[in-house]
A and B are shown apart, each in its own frame.
Chain A
Amino acid sequence: MQDAVTATIPVGEVPDRPQVRDRLRVVMRSFFPFIVVGVIWEIIAWSGIFPRRLFPTIEEVAASFARLTVAGILPHHALDTVIRLLTGFALAALIGVTIGVLMGRSRRAEDICLPLVSICAPIPGLAYAPLFLLWFGLGNISAVLLVGFVAAFPILFNSWTGVKAVKEIWVRSAQSMGADDRRLFRHVILPGALPYILTGLRLGLAQAWRILVAVEMLAAVPWGLGWLIFGAREFLNTDAMLAGIVVIALIGLGLEKFVFQKIEDYTVVRWGMITS
C-alpha cells in the first residue's frame, strides 16, 4: 500500500544523472514495448490467421519501406503532403488568429461572427469534403482549402478565448500607465493570450493533419501519403500501406515534438506564462 501511495505522488521527475548507463536504460525502456508489439505482430503474421498478403511480416514492410524510399516515391509523397499541410495550416492560422483576436477585442465582431462560427464548427470537417470537391473541383485547391477551413476553427476559438481571458486589471494598469492601443496589444494582450493561441495552433495542426490524410484519399490528388495508402489498397499492397502509415506517424510525431514544443519553450515558458 505504501508503495502505491508514493507512486501517485508526483514528486517531480527523477533528476537526470548524466551517466551513460542511465541514459541507455531509458532508451532501452522506451524501446522495449515496441519490441514486444513487434514480436506479437510477427507471431500473428506467421500464424496465418490473416492471409500473408494482408498481414505482411515486419521484414516485408521494412523491405518495401526501403525500396520505396530509395526509389524516391515515398519522399515525394511525403513532401507533397507536408507542403499541402503547411499551406493549409498557414491559411488557417492567419484566418483563425485574425478573426479570433478581432472577436475577442470587439463586441460587434463577436456578435457578427459567433453565430456563423458556432454553426459551422461542430460539423465534422470531412462532411464538408464533398461540398468543397463539388465547388472547387478535384485536386490540390480543394484539399488545401478544406484543410485551412477545418483547422481554422480550433485556432479561432482558442484565440478568442485567450484574448477574453486576459486579465482586465492588466489592461487597465497598462492603460493608466499610458500605453496606447498598439502597445497595449503588443505588450499586454498578445503575450496574455499567447498560451491559448499556441494551444489553438497545436490543436489546429493536429486537426489539419487528420483531415489532410482523409481528404487526400477522397480528392484524387496525384501525390500524397493518404493517396498512397488508398491506392495501395486497390492492389493489396499491404506492405506499402504500412510503410505509408509509418511515415505518417513519423511526420506527426516530428511536428509535435520538434515544432510546437520548441515554440512553446521559446515563448510562453520563457515569458513565465506557464511553467514547463
Chain B
Amino acid sequence: MTEQGQRTRSIIRAVVTLAIAATLYELLARSGYFAPALLPTIPAIMRTLIAMLANGSMIEHAAFTMYRVMFGFGLAVAVGIPLGILMARFQRVENFFLPLVSALMPIPSFALVPLFMLWFGIGNLTTILIVFYAATFPMVFNTWSGVRSVNPLWLRAAGAMGADEQSLFWKVIIPGASPFIITGMRQAFLRAWIAVVGAEMIAASDWGLGWVIFDARNFSTPISCWRRCLLSAVSAMPSSGSCSVRSSAQLCSDGAWCAWPRVRNGKQEWSLLKFVMSALCTTRRAAKCPASRT
C-alpha cells in the first residue's frame, strides 16, 4: 500500500463517515421522533443559513463577535506578554503576581459574567472584559514559563560574546521564548472564542453569534427573563422553531467556518486559530509544541 493510496483511502473514508452521519441525522429529523422545530432537516438548516447570509444579518452578527474577540484578545496580549516577561525577569514581580494569577486562574470566566453585568451593564464592555479575563491567564502563564525556560547556556554564551542587556533581550530571550508565547496566544484565542459565545448568551447584547444561538423569540419581556423564554422554546411554541433552526444553522456555519482542523504528524492545528495566527506571526514553525502544553 503506497502512501498515496493510503491517503486516498483516508479521504474516501472521511467522506463516507460524514455522509453517513448526515444521513443518520436526516433520517432522525424526518422520522418525526422529535418535533421538526427541534430537529430541523438539513435542507431547512441550509435555507436559513443562506437566507441569513443573504440578508447580511449573519455577517453582521459574526462581525460583532469578531470585534469583541479581537478587542479582548488584543488587550490580553498587550497585558499578558509584558507581565509574563516582567514576572520571569524580576523576582519581586513574580513574588507579587504569581499568587494572584494562580488564585484567579481557576475561576471560570463565566462565573464573572453576572457580576460584570451588574458592574458594567449589558453590552460590549462586559463582553470584552470577560474575553480579556479569559484570555489573559494563558498568555501570562505561557510567556512566563517561556522566558524562564530559555536555555541558560544561550544566555551565558551571548553574555560572553559581549551582548548588552538590550540585544540579549531582543535577540536571545524573545526568540527563545517565542514558541511558548505563540502557544500561549493560541490557547488564549481559543479561550477568548469560547468566552465570547458564553458571554453573549448570558449578557445578552443585540448582536453576536452567541446571541443568535440563544435568541429564541422577540423579547417583549426584560432580558433577565430569558429563562422563561427558554422554557417556552422547549415546550415547542410555534415561535421556538426559529430558535433551533437558527441555532443549528449557527452550528453549521461555525463548523464550516472553523472548518477543517488539520491533523498531521500527530499534531493538531485548529485552522481557525491558524487563520488568525498566520496573520499575527509568520514563524509558525516555531509553534511546534502541541497546544496541550500548559
> A residues near B, CB below 8 A?
1, 4-5, 7-11, 29-34, 36-37, 50, 54-55, 107-108, 111-116, 118-131, 133-135, 137-138, 154, 157-158, 160-161, 164-165, 196, 199-200, 202-203, 206, 209-210, 213-214, 217-218, 220, 225-226, 229-230, 232-234, 236, 238, 241-242, 244-245, 248-249, 251-253, 255-256
Interface residues on B, range: 35 or more
- Give CA–CA (A210, B214) in the complex, Å: 19
Contact status of A253 and B9, CB under 8 A, knowing A10-B152, A248-B108: no
A130 touches B214 (CB 8 A): yes
- Give CA–CA (A118, B152) in the complex, Å: 39
A131 touches B244 (CB 8 A): yes
Interface SS of chain A: helix
B118 touches A161 (CB 8 A): no
Check B90 for interface membership: any CB of A closer than 8 A: yes
A111 touches B38 (CB 8 A): no
Contact status of A133 and B99, CB under 8 A, knowing A5-B168, A164-B266: no
- Give CA–CA (A252, B147) in the complex, Å: 26
Cβ of A49 to closest chain B Cβ, rounded Å? 10
- Give CA–CA (A116, B168) in the complex, Å: 47
Check B45 for interface membership: any CB of A closer than 8 A: no
B148 touches A115 (CB 8 A): no
Check B67 for interface membership: any CB of A closer than 8 A: no
A165 neighbours in B (Cβ, 8 Å): 266
Check B104 for interface membership: any CB of A closer than 8 A: yes
Interface hits, B229-265 → A, CB 8 Å: 230-231, 233-234, 243-244, 247-248, 250-251, 254-255, 258, 260-261, 263
Looking at the complex, which one of A7, A126, A128 makes contact with B89 (CB distance below 8 Å)?
A7
Residue of A nearest to B272 (CB): A122
A111 neighbours in B (Cβ, 8 Å): 9-10, 13-14, 17
B266 touches A214 (CB 8 A): no
| Sample of 4 more A-B contacts, CB < 8 Å, known A127-B251, A131-B247 | A1-B165, A33-B96, A127-B197, A210-B110
Residue of B nearest to A215 (CB): B110
Check B290 for interface membership: any CB of A closer than 8 A: yes
B197 neighbours in A (Cβ, 8 Å): 124, 126-127
Looking at the complex, which one of A127, A137, A238 makes contact with B250 (CB distance below 8 Å)?
A127
- Give CA–CA (A238, B115) in the complex, Å: 7
Interface hits, B90-110 → A, CB 8 Å: 90-91, 95-100, 102-110
A229 touches B111 (CB 8 A): yes
Check B55 for interface membership: any CB of A closer than 8 A: no
Cβ of B183 to closest chain A Cβ, rounded Å? 13
B106 touches A256 (CB 8 A): yes
Contact status of A8 and B115, CB under 8 A, knowing A200-B292, A209-B108, A249-B104: no
B159 neighbours in A (Cβ, 8 Å): 5
> B residues near A, CB below 8 A?
9-10, 13-14, 17-18, 21, 34, 38-39, 88-91, 95-100, 102-115, 117-119, 147-150, 152, 155-156, 159, 164-165, 168, 173, 193-194, 197-198, 201-202, 209-210, 213-214, 224, 227, 230-231, 233-234, 243-244, 247-248, 250-251, 254-255, 258, 260-261, 263, 266-268, 270-272, 290, 292-294
B254 touches A161 (CB 8 A): no
B98 neighbours in A (Cβ, 8 Å): 30
- Give CA–CA (A29, B260) in the complex, Å: 47
Looking at the complex, which one of B119, B202, B224, B263 makes contact with A214 (CB distance below 8 Å)?
B202
List 5 tightest A-B contacts by C-beta distance, closest first: A252-B106, A214-B110, A111-B13, A210-B108, A164-B266
A107 neighbours in B (Cβ, 8 Å): 10
Cβ of A8 to closest chain B Cβ, rounded Å? 6
A138 neighbours in B (Cβ, 8 Å): 230-231, 234
A123 touches B258 (CB 8 A): yes
A118 neighbours in B (Cβ, 8 Å): 260-261, 263
